[in-house]
Amino acid sequence: MNKQKTHKGLKKRIKVTASGKIKHKRCCGGHLMSKKNSKRRRAIAGKSLISGGAAKSMKARLHG
C-alpha cells in the first residue's frame, strides 16, 4: 500500500507548536478592514489555536 502524502496546501497555512497544538491565521483579515471595529481587527491579526477533532484530522494530513 502506498504512503499517504502530506497535504501541501495545509502545510503552508498552519504551524505545529512544540506542545503539539496547531496555530493558524484567522479569516476575514484580507480586505474591507475599515468597516470592522478596532477590537475585531486586533483579534483577526493574531494567530489562533485549533483543538479537538479538527486538530487531530489536520495532524493526520500533515504527517501523511
Model confidence over 14-49: pLDDT tens digits? 999 999 899 999 999 999 999 999 999 999 999 999
3-state helix, strand, coil in the chain (%, to 5): 40, 15, 45
- Name, in order, each residue with C-beta under 8 angstroms of 43's C-beta and a sequence gap of 6 or more: 26
Q: How many structural domains does the chain have? A: 1
What does the block give as the cell for 57? 484530522
Query: Is residue 44 in some structural domain?
Result: yes
Query: Is residue 21 in some structural domain?
Result: no
Query: Is residue 22 in some structural domain?
Result: no
Q: Which of 28, 27, 19 lies closest to 51, judged by CA? A: 19
What is the predicted pLDDT for the residue at 64? Answer: 62
Residue range of the domain that includes 54: 1-15+34-64
